[in-house]
Structure 1
Amino acid sequence: MLELRKDTIGRASTISESVEVGLRFIGMWPHCVYANINWWTYIVSVAIMQYFQYAYIFAHFDLSHLSVFVDGLSITFGYSLSFLKLINLWFNRRKLFAILDTMNKDWSDAIHSDMSTMIRYANWSRQCSNVMITTNALAVFFYVIGGLILRSMIQKNDDSIRELPIKMEFPFKVDYFPIFELILILQFFHDLSVACIIAMLNALLVTLVLHVSGQIDIMLQGFMEISSKHTSRSSLDAIKDLVNRHQRIIDLSEDIEDLFSNIALLQFIWNTLVICCIGFVIVISIGTEEGATTITKSLIFYVAITLEAFVFCYAGEYLSAKSKSISDAAYECLWYDLTPSECRILMFLMLRSQKRLTITAGKITDLSLEGFTTIMKSSASYISVLSALY
C-alpha cells in the first residue's frame, strides 16, 4: 500500500496508468503524438468489423434459427455501442481535455492537508479501473477461447464445421487453413482491444466522479476551519475559499455531465438490448447439448455488460448523494459564531448546494440505481417475449 501511495504522489493524478494508456492508444490524450493517426486507424478498424458483422446479421435473418441469430446480434450490438461511444468521445474531446486540465490544476494547487484525501481517492480509482478492465478481458477470453475449446471437445475432432466466435459474413470462404486461424487471431485481439477500451471509458467516468468526490471531501474539511480557534485564518477567508472550491466543483461536474450525457443515453438503450440478447441465449441453452459451451462463453460476457450498466448508474447515484453532504456540512458548522455578513455568504452557499450534482442520460433522466433496476426489468421482459417466440 505504501508503494502505491508513493507512485500516486509521483504521478500526481487521479487518472490511473491503465486509463492513460487506453486514452493514448486511441489518440484521446492531450498532446499525444500521432493522435489523429491512432484515432482514425482504430475507428476504421472498428467500422470494418461492424460492416462484416451486420452483413452476417442481414444474411442470416431467420426466425427458425432464432438462438444463432440472437447470439450474433448480441456481440454486434456490443460493438455498435463501442463504436458510438468512441465517436461521441471524439466530438467531445475538447471537453475531455478541459476536464483533465482541471484535474491537474487541482493536484498542483492542493496543499499538504488535502493530499491524503486525494491520494485515497486516486488509489480507489486505480483499483476500480483494474477490476473493470480485467473483467472485460476475461469476458473476451471466455467468449472466444473458452467457446472454441468446449466446442472442439463436443465435436470430438470433427473439423467439418468451423465457426468463428464473432459471427461475420465475408465475401470469401474462411474455413480453410490458414485463413480461418488468421481471422480467428485478428478477431480475438481486436475484440480484446475493444473490450479494454470500453472498460477504460467506464473507468474514466468512475475516476472523474471519484475526483469530484475527493474535492467535496476536502470542502467538507474546510467547513471545520470556520470559527476554529486553532487557525490563523479568518472565517471570511475560509468561507471565500469554500465558495471558490464549490464553484470549481460545480463547473467540473457540469463538464463531466456534458461529456458523458449522450454516452449514458446510448448505454441505457444498448445495454437493455444486449443484456436481453445474452440472457435469452443463456436461458434457451440450458439443458441442450451445447449448453455448456454457450453458458461458458456467454455468462462472463453477461456479467461484464451488466457491470457496465451498473457502473454508470452507480456513479450518477454516488455523485448525487455526495453533493447533498455539502449543505449538511454547511449547516453543521459553527455558523452561529459568525458575523451576519459571513452568515449571509454561507447561506447562499447552502442554497446553491441544494441543487444536486448529477449525470443524466441524454438530459432526459438522472443516472441512478433506480435506472439500473429499470434496465434489468426491461431486459427480463424482452427475454420472456423472445422465449415465447422461440
Structure 2
Amino acid sequence: MHLSMEDETDRRPRNQHYEKDIAYVTKYSKWILRSIGIWPAMLEGVARFLPKFAIGLSNFVLLFAIVPCILHITFEEKDTIARLKLCGLLSFCCTSLMKYWALTLRKPRIMDCIEQVWTDWNQVQLHEDREMMLKYGRVGRNLAFVCIVFMYTGGTIYHSILQYAIGTFVDEHNRTIKPLVYPTYSTLYDVQSSPIYELVYALHCMCGYVMYSITAGACGLAALFATHACGQIDIVMSRLNDLVHGERNKATSNPNARLIEIVEHHLRILRFSATVETVLQEVCFLEFIGSTFMICLLEYYCITDWEQSNTISLTTYMMLLVSLTFNIFILCYIGELLMEKSSSVALSCFMTDWFHLPTKMIHGLILIIAVSNNPAKISAGRIADLSLSTFGGVIKSSLAYLSFLRTTIM
C-alpha cells in the first residue's frame, strides 16, 4: 500500500527498511482485520470488491446466528438457567455485531491512522529512532498475538470440544438431537435434517470466527496505534534531551530550529492520538460495557458447572473468562501506557538544560509542558478513560453483579 497524499519524491523512503518494519509490526492485526474487510487495501479490478464482500458475508453469518437465537429464547426456551446461559451467548454476539458496525463506520479514519503510521516509519532517519519505534512496535505486536491466541483458543474449544462433549441425545419424541453452537428457531427450518444441519453448523463456525476476529482485531488495532504513538513520543523526548547541545541531530545546529521541529512532531502525535481515540471510542465503550456483563455471566457459569462437576463445560467457560478478562486488560493497559507516556513529555522538558536557552525558547517549553498536562488517552465512548484503575472497576462491578445474580437466582 502506498500513501496517496505523498508525491513521487516523498515516497522515496528515508528508512530503507520501512516496508519490512511495517510488515513486522502490523502482521497480526493486518491478517485478522483483512479477513473481515476492515483493513484498508489498495486493490484493482474485481478484487476491489473483496472487502465489501467480506463485510457483507460477516454481517450475514452474525445475523444468521443472532436472529434465530433471539426467537428461540423468546418463544421456545422456558428454563430459567438455560435462558440465562443463552442470554450470555446472545449478548456477546450482539456486542460483536455492534463493534463490527463501529469498525466499518470508522474505516476511513482507520485508513488515515494507518497512512500516518506508514509516513512515520518512512520518514524515520536516525538508527536510534528506528530502534525506539521497533521496541514499541514489538510490544504492540506481542499484545495482539497474545489476544489472538486467547480468543481463538477459547472460541475453538467452545465451538468444537464443548459441542462434542454434549453429543447427540434422544428427546421425549424419540428423535435424535444433534448439538448446535447457537440455538435456532424450529419454526424456520428443520435443523436436524441433513444437509441442513451441516450447513447451519458451518455457518455457526464462521460466525464464531468473525466474532473472535472482531474482538482480537480491535484489540490488535488499539495496540498497534497506541504503541506507535508511544514510540513517537519517545523520539520527541530524545530530541528534547538533545535540544540544548544538538549532539544527536547534528544536521540542525540552531536550537530554535530544533524546538520548532520538536513542536511540530509533538503536535502531529497529538493529532494522531485524537484520531485514534475517535476511531476506537465506540468499540472501547462496547467492550467496556460488554466485558463487565460477560465476565459476570461467565463467573456464574463457572460456579454452577463447578457445583455440577461438569469438567468440560467448566474448562471451556474458564478459558472464555480468561480470554475476555485478558482482552479488556490489554485495552486498559494500552490506555494507561499512552497516558503515562504522553504526560512524561512535561518531565523531559523540565529535565533539559533549559537554563542555557534564550527566554523565548523557555516560554516555548512552558507551552509544551502545559499541553502535556492534558495527556493523550483512549476513552470508552468519552465516558471513562481506559486505564488500569478502569480495569479494576470492571472486575469489581462484575463481582457485584455476580453477587446480585446469585442472590436473585438462588
TM-score calculated relative to the size of structure 2:
0.86
User: Measured at CA, do residues 173 and 154 of structure 1 come closer, stay the same or move farther in structure 2, by a change above 3 Å?
Assistant: closer
Instruction: Report the Cα distance in structure 2 between the residues aligned to 1:261 and 1:229, rounded to whole angstroms.
Output: 39
User: In the alignment, what sits opposite 2:156?
Assistant: 141
User: In the alignment, what sits opposite 1:130?
Assistant: 145
The CA deviation at 1:249 is 0.8
Instruction: Report the Cα distance in structure 2 between the residues aligned to 1:61 and 1:376, rounded to whole angstroms.
Output: 30
Question: Quick check: 1:20–1:29 contact (8 Å CA) kept in 2?
Answer: yes
User: In the alignment, what sits opposite 1:40?
Assistant: 56
Question: Quick check: 2:167–2:179 contact (8 Å CA) kept in 1?
Answer: no
Aligned residues: 380
The CA deviation at 1:61 is 4.9
The CA deviation at 1:197 is 3.0
User: In the alignment, what sits opposite 2:260?
Assistant: 240
User: In the alignment, what sits opposite 2:275?
Assistant: 255
User: In the alignment, what sits opposite 1:335?
Assistant: 354
Give runs of aligned pairs for residues 229-308 of structure 1, distance below 5 A: 230=247, 232=250, 233-288=253-308, 291-308=310-327
Give runs of aligned pairs for residues 145-160 of structure 1, distance below 5 A: 145-152=160-167, 160=176
The CA deviation at 1:342 is 1.4
Question: Quick check: 1:271–1:309 contact (8 Å CA) kept in 2?
Answer: yes
Alignment match of 1:361 (pick from 371, 380, 393): 380
* Alignment partner of 1:220 is 2:230: no
User: Measured at CA, do residues 177 and 61 of structure 1 come closer, stay the same or move farther in structure 2, by a change above 3 Å?
Assistant: closer
Opposite residue 113 of structure 2, the aligned amino acid is: I
Question: Quick check: 1:13–1:107 contact (8 Å CA) kept in 2?
Answer: no
What percentage of aligned pairs have identical amino acids? 21
Instruction: Report the Cα distance in structure 2 between the residues aligned to 1:311 and 1:84, rounded to whole angstroms.
Output: 20
Question: Quick check: 1:14–1:211 contact (8 Å CA) kept in 2?
Answer: no
> 1:231-272 CA distances to partner (integer Å, 9 max, x unpaired)?
532221221111011101100110011111122211122111
Instruction: Report the Cα distance in structure 2 between the residues aligned to 1:7 and 1:186, rounded to whole angstroms.
Output: 42
User: Measured at CA, do residues 240 and 229 of structure 1 come closer, stay the same or move farther in structure 2, by a change above 3 Å?
Assistant: closer
Q: Which SS does the other structure have where 1:286 is aligned?
A: helix
* Alignment partner of 1:351 is 2:356: no
> 1:14-33 CA distances to partner (integer Å, 9 max, x unpaired)?
75222112332232233352
User: In the alignment, what sits opposite 1:316?
Assistant: 335
User: In the alignment, what sits opposite 2:100?
Assistant: 86
> 1:333-367 CA distances to partner (integer Å, 9 max, x unpaired)?
11111111211111111111111111111112211
Question: Quick check: 2:36–2:210 contact (8 Å CA) kept in 1?
Answer: no
Instruction: Report the Cα distance in structure 1 between the residues aligned to 2:245 and 2:356, rounded to whole angstroms.
Output: 10
Opposite residue 332 of structure 2, the aligned amino acid is: C
Q: Which piece of structure 1 moves more, 126-135 or 223-232?
A: 223-232
Question: Quick check: 2:110–2:279 contact (8 Å CA) kept in 1?
Answer: yes
User: In the alignment, what sits opposite 2:223?
Assistant: 206
Q: Which SS does the other structure have where 1:306 is aligned?
A: helix
User: In the alignment, what sits opposite 1:379?
Assistant: 398
The CA deviation at 1:101 is 1.1
Question: Quick check: 2:109–2:275 contact (8 Å CA) kept in 1?
Answer: yes
Opposite residue 221 of structure 1, the aligned amino acid is: S
Instruction: Report the Cα distance in structure 2 between the residues aligned to 1:266 and 1:14, rounded to whole angstroms.
Output: 29
The CA deviation at 1:100 is 1.0
User: In the alignment, what sits opposite 2:31?
Assistant: 21
The CA deviation at 1:177 is 4.4
Question: Quick check: 1:13–1:122 contact (8 Å CA) kept in 2?
Answer: no
The CA deviation at 1:200 is 1.1
Instruction: Report the Cα distance in structure 2 between the residues aligned to 1:314 and 1:197, rounded to whole angstroms.
Output: 19
Instruction: Report the Cα distance in structure 1 between the residues aligned to 2:17 and 2:206, rounded to whole angstroms.
Output: 30
Opposite residue 242 of structure 2, the aligned amino acid is: E
* Alignment partner of 1:101 is 2:115: yes
User: In the alignment, what sits opposite 2:6?
Assistant: none
CA RMSD, 1 decimal:
2.4
Instruction: Report the Cα distance in structure 1 between the residues aligned to 2:65 and 2:168, rounded to whole angstroms.
Output: 28
Question: Quick check: 1:14–1:125 contact (8 Å CA) kept in 2?
Answer: no
User: Measured at CA, do residues 13 and 323 of structure 1 come closer, stay the same or move farther in structure 2, by a change above 3 Å?
Assistant: farther
Instruction: Report the Cα distance in structure 2 between the residues aligned to 1:342 and 1:241, rounded to whole angstroms.
Output: 13
> 1:128-184 CA distances to partner (integer Å, 9 max, x unpaired)?
2221111111011111222133334999xx994432132332422323444334422
> 1:165-224 CA distances to partner (integer Å, 9 max, x unpaired)?
323324223234443344223322331232123201111101110000000111111112
User: In the alignment, what sits opposite 2:13?
Assistant: none
Q: Which piece of structure 1 moves more, 368-377 or 21-30?
A: 21-30
User: In the alignment, what sits opposite 1:121?
Assistant: 136
TM-score calculated relative to the size of structure 1:
0.90
* Alignment partner of 1:175 is 2:195: no
Unaligned runs of 5+ in 2: 1-15
Instruction: Report the Cα distance in structure 2 between the residues aligned to 1:368 and 1:115, rounded to whole angstroms.
Output: 27
User: Measured at CA, do residues 287 and 229 of structure 1 come closer, stay the same or move farther in structure 2, by a change above 3 Å?
Assistant: closer
Q: Which SS does the other structure have where 2:307 is aligned?
A: coil
Q: Which SS does the other structure have where 1:12 is aligned?
A: helix
Q: Which piece of structure 1 moves more, 371-380 or 130-139?
A: 371-380
Instruction: Report the Cα distance in structure 1 between the residues aligned to 2:93 and 2:347, rounded to whole angstroms.
Output: 43
User: Measured at CA, do residues 348 and 61 of structure 1 come closer, stay the same or move farther in structure 2, by a change above 3 Å?
Assistant: same
